[in-house]
Structure 1
């Protein structure tokens, strides 16, 4: 894994891939789950001052099979989930795939097609 020059640098491509792999392996999600956010979990000011800040990733996922949103923190060096939880009542932000699914549904709706034809 590539190490950043500063503990507050954004996650690298390799770190994002590693975080996703940790969650896929340990987060008990279906194969259809998608990642809404993978971002740097900022270390505490104390860890920064002491020079022992760990690279960690905050991860938020939506699993369409269960209809649940999960979030947690992955320790990138240890390759483990530090915490992982289902957030009751929380819905992850919409992602590009959902826009595509919505368009596919709308384009099959006869009422929508008729309205478009009427408007020209």
Structure 2
């Protein structure tokens, strides 16, 4: 069965993306921030849709994943594109000076740290809250909208040539 060009990545495609990058960069230790479907060029999608409408054989539209990674130890951010049919790393780009999107794991860790903090516990106790299971720490993104136009809040797919 031919996948629609906009179908999300399957679990197998996500695992494949991770494996291709680990095999291509064995000496680097990464946290996989996100692995998403990279949409194909519009021209290929239009060809696919025309064939579907005509009832002719559907062309195979290449499937690619877009991956954002954080290097452990340095915090450096990288963007990668994986060709899922060829099972190769198609592009690799170091993106300096950016902070990728927070993951649920980041939020859970921030909450754990905040609720274990003695100053937070003391402040809660002064408010009459002694059961810390009733307290929620809710991390939020903060962005400086007055920053230079060269600053990025997160990596963007346009960085990849």
Q: How far off its partner does 1:52 sit?
A: 4.3
Partner of 1:97: 105
Structure 2, unmatched stretches of 5+, are 49-58, 129-161
Output the CA distance in 2 between the equivalents of 1:113 and 1:64: 31
Larger of the two Rg values belongs to structure:
2
8 Å contact kept, 2:2–2:60: no
1:85 pairs with 2:83: no
Counterpart of 1:75 (choices 83, 89, 104) is 83
Give 1:1-120 correspondences, 5 Å limit.
4-27=2-25, 29-30=28-29, 33-48=30-45, 49=47, 51-120=59-128
Matched residues in 1 for 2:43 and 2:111: separation? 48
4+ runs of 1 displaced by more than 3 Å?
none
TM-score (norm 1): 0.84
Give the RMSD, CA atoms, in angstroms. Answer: 1.9
Q: What are the ranges of 5 or more consecutive residues in structure 1 without an aligned counterpart?
A: none
Offset at residue 4 of structure 1 (A): 4.9
String of CA shifts for 1:13-61, please: whole Å, max 9, x gaps.
111111111122224531xx32222111111123332734211101111
> 2:53 aligns to what?
none
Instruction: Give the distance between the partners of 1:42 and 1:9, measured in 2 at CA.
Output: 9
SS of match in other structure, 2:125: helix
